[in-house]
Amino acid sequence: MTLKGDCIIGVKANKACSDLRHDLKQKIRSNNCYIKFELIVEPYTFLVDGIGNKELLLDHKHDIVLRKSEFICGRTICLKCSSAAIDIPRKIIQLLKDPEKKGLFTIAVE
């Protein structure tokens, strides 16, 4: 990573797109399904929503990317997100800079 990596909010995660459960991938690949993401870094929570698409590959072995655009690659988990990394409160970002601090990222598909 470099200082220009301003859209990266987590490293050393224990899951990537390829690691998601098969049933979750199937739900995410439903056109226009609603996907809710929750980033929890105690004591804060940040919510983001986006939509799924039948064209999502969900096969990247290292990354998960939420996109405000409609660009699709193996790293993409959803499209048309309500927020970008720049919208995450700075308090959460400051906590995530601490290598000892852990965040929890949850995914719910409706």
Report yes or no on 23 lying in a domain: yes
Q: What is the pLDDT of residue 5?
A: 57
In this prediction, residues 7-35 reach a mean pLDDT of: 93
Split into its structural domains, the chain has a count of 1
Q: Residue 28 to residues 2, 60, 92, 97: CA-CA distances in angstroms?
A: 31, 15, 26, 30
Domain of residue 80, residue span: 17-109
Is pLDDT at 41 greater than 80 in this prediction?
Answer: yes
CATH number at residue 22: 2.60.120.630
pTM, 2 dp = 0.91
pLDDT tens figures, 51-109: 999 999 999 999 999 999 999 999 999 999 999 999 999 999 999 999 999 999 999 99
Intra-chain end-to-end CA distance of the chain, in Å: 34
Report yes or no on 34 lying in a domain: yes
Report yes or no on 4 lying in a domain: no
Q: What is the pLDDT of residue 2?
A: 57
